Amino acid sequence: MGIEQQITGSVVAGIKALYGADVDTAQVQLQKTKKEFKGHLTLVVFPFLRISKKGPEQTAQELGEYLVQHEPAVANFNVIKGFLNLTVASGCWIGLLNELNAQPHYGIRTATADSPLVMVEYSSPNTNKPLHLGHVRNNLLGYSLAQILAANGNRVVKTNIVNDRGIHICKSMLAWKKWGDGATPESTGKKGDHLIGDFYVLFSNKLKEETAALEAQGMTKEEAEAASPLMQEAREMLRKWETGDAEVRSLWKMMNDWVYAGFDETYKLMGVSFDKIYYESDTYLEGKAKVLEGLDKGIFYRREDGSVWADLTKEGLDEKLLLRADGTSVYMTQDIGTAKLRFDDYPINKMIYVVGNEQNYHFQVLSILLDKLGFEFGKGLVHFSYGMVELPEGKMKSREGTVVDADDLMEEMISTARETSQELGKLDGLTKEEAENIARMVGLGALKYFLLKVDPRKNMTFNPKESIDFNGNTGPFIQYTYARICSVLRKAAEQGITLPAALPTDFEISEKEEGLIQLLANFASVVKEAGDTYSPALIANYTYDLVKEFNQFYHDYSILHEADERLKTFRLMLSANVAKVVKEGMALLGIEVPERM
């Protein structure tokens, strides 16, 4: 039983003994004592004043005296207005550390066969260009969210939907066919996703030249785009693709395979993965069939031009197009098809879509449509909506080819980590391979931590230089503290010190050490809250707070040079458990921690 439950039980007993009344444990509010006051836990006494028929100070005083006499966990108390600040006995904190120490994965719950099945969709790349900075935030949030939900005892399926069809794909294909000269990833020495992205940019530039010439003849921008021979060719290619033209399909498959090989490399370096990947080319026909089924059931209606719509005015929204007049599908139709295939494959209890906040309306509509079509997860669908990410220079745009490429960004982060670590002498005495692995961990740790420590709903600016700092609220600061603890534990092992399974509880420790154990124990509730509120930022900032507290303790107290053997062993066990929780917390963010640096 935890310290808080123990004290709560004694408060209930105290109220009965002092005032003859029964209260429910839910009415007993214990909070962590504010930093400026002495104590560990604070009891709010205002709910009990009608029972005690006394003022807040007197009620708090009486309850405090009762607890010191009858509850061994309470060593001392002080009263500030209607708040009773309790100091927990050292032995209880050491006992709590023993409990934490006995759990190799403290704070992490494992799923069982009956646990809810949560599916998390993230990444959603287009096969006409490589992944960019926006995708990086998306992938890291999606992967971290999946880790956090799994740590809360859910069964989790990580999934991706690849946008591998449509006019944008045909633009890259057409540009390669016209101006590619048979270029391949092998012949150019380029990753496939970058090669295809170049052709997409090339198409956009050639189209600009064509439309500029047509606009010069007096056409509007829209008219020029409609009349452009290039756009007509791209549309014709899409029509051929939709009818299954063998030549177009073969070109499409070859170019997509190049892109997937490129994506796989990017995902691998980023450290994210998927359990199941879906492709729009498979799901859009399913969506069409589902919409036509809805039409037959009277859920949707057909307009005179043959297009199919959903009327959502009763729900306070507008009318939503589902199939165009020519029978082609829109994104919404594809999402319905993807949902159907997923529901056929898995008994989903909850579906979470990690998609930017510009799609808020889309998911509001999708939730209603899936519910109308009878999908059990429709109503409770979660759109994990996140903000834009920019670099200090300003917004990214993919059309102009000025996109911040994910591969370039990761390589740049690793090389900055390498330079910074060398300057600080953190790679001295390591083999080239070890040094390179640490540079990778630190560079990617800096990137991931910087993007995940911010509330996901907020727009943010990613600052590469700031993120790699070895001080302050950064990934490298946390990684360095972890490596520092590993170094202390290695030295202890070299001195022949082995840690016992449990410590005796009959000695005094300092307030700083008690506070550190209390903070360690909070990890379990932070993991739960991060799962309930879908917020990796809670884990990131908790881990930073823990590391900051540990560093102050490390600065103020000797560990290996402590003369008192009991204290030395206690401090080593405390350090080992901080390292354990830091490693768990960082793993929930998808961040590795090096044992040396």
| CATH code for the domain in which residue 63 is found | 3.30.1360.70
Looking at residue 255, its pLDDT comes to 97
Looking at residues 91-113, what average pLDDT do you find? 96
- Angle at 246 (CA atoms; ends 241, 247), nearest 5 degrees: 85
CATH number at residue 421: 1.10.730.10
Find the DSSP H helices in 424-497.
432-452, 464-467, 475-494
Is residue 594 included in any domain, yes or no? no
Kindly indicate the confidence band of residue 79, based on its pLDDT and cuts at 50, 70 and 90. very high
Looking at residues 340-368, what average pLDDT do you find? 95
Is residue 102 included in any domain, yes or no? no
Kindly indicate the confidence band of residue 236, based on its pLDDT and cuts at 50, 70 and 90. very high
Q: Do residue 73 and residue 169 come from a single domain?
A: no
List the beta bridge partners of residue 87.
76
pLDDT in tens, 151-164: 999 999 999 999 99
Kindly indicate the confidence band of residue 402, based on its pLDDT and cuts at 50, 70 and 90. low
Q: Do residue 431 and residue 551 come from a single domain?
A: yes
Helices 565-588/536-556 angle, 10° precision: 160
Q: Is 123 helix (H, G, I), strand (E, B) or coil?
A: coil
Is residue 65 included in any domain, yes or no? yes
Looking at residue 18, its pLDDT comes to 93
Kindly indicate the confidence band of residue 589, based on its pLDDT and cuts at 50, 70 and 90. very high
Task: Please list, in sequence order, all residues whose beta carbon lies within 8 angstroms of the beta carbon of residue 59, skipping any fewer than 6 positions away.
Answer: 45, 48, 49, 52, 82
Looking at residue 2, its pLDDT comes to 80
Looking at residue 61, its pLDDT comes to 95
Q: Do residue 77 and residue 188 come from a single domain?
A: no
The predicted model scores a pTM of: 0.91
Kindly indicate the confidence band of residue 400, based on its pLDDT and cuts at 50, 70 and 90. very low
**Whole-number Å distance between alpha carbons of 309 and 303:** 8
Looking at residue 292, its pLDDT comes to 94
Q: Do residue 561 and residue 416 come from a single domain?
A: yes
Q: Is 327 helix (H, G, I), strand (E, B) or coil?
A: coil
Q: Is the pLDDT of residue 493 over 80?
A: yes
Kindly indicate the confidence band of residue 384, based on its pLDDT and cuts at 50, 70 and 90. very high
- Angle at 248 (CA atoms; ends 246, 252), nearest 5 degrees: 115
Is residue 142 included in any domain, yes or no? no
Per the listing, tokens 């498959």 go with 253
Looking at residue 395, its pLDDT comes to 47
Domain boundary among 246, 274, 302: 274
Q: Is the pLDDT of residue 396 over 70?
A: no
Is residue 264 included in any domain, yes or no? yes
Looking at residue 394, its pLDDT comes to 53
Per the listing, tokens 């309790």 go with 86
Q: CA 102: distance to chain centroid?
A: 28
Which of 483, 506, 497 has its CA nearest to residue 562?
Answer: 497
Q: What percent of the chain has pLDDT over 70?
A: 98
Q: What's the structural domain count of the chain?
A: 3
Average pLDDT, the chain: 94
The radius of gyration of the chain from alpha carbons, rounded to an integer in Å, stands at: 30
pLDDT in tens, 437-462: 999 999 999 999 999 999 999 999 99
Contact predicate 170/178, CB 8 Å? no
Q: Is the pLDDT of residue 328 over 90?
A: no
Which of 60, 270, 145, 246 has its CA nearest to residue 536?
Answer: 145
Looking at residue 244, its pLDDT comes to 94
Looking at residue 519, its pLDDT comes to 96
- Angle at 474 (CA atoms; ends 469, 478), nearest 5 degrees: 105
Domain boundary among 221, 241, 274: 274
Is residue 280 included in any domain, yes or no? no
Domain boundary among 43, 62, 88: 88
Write the single-letter amino acid at 251.
L
Q: Which domain holds residue 226?
A: 165-274
pLDDT in tens, 268-326: 999 999 999 999 999 988 999 999 999 999 999 999 999 999 999 999 999 999 999 98
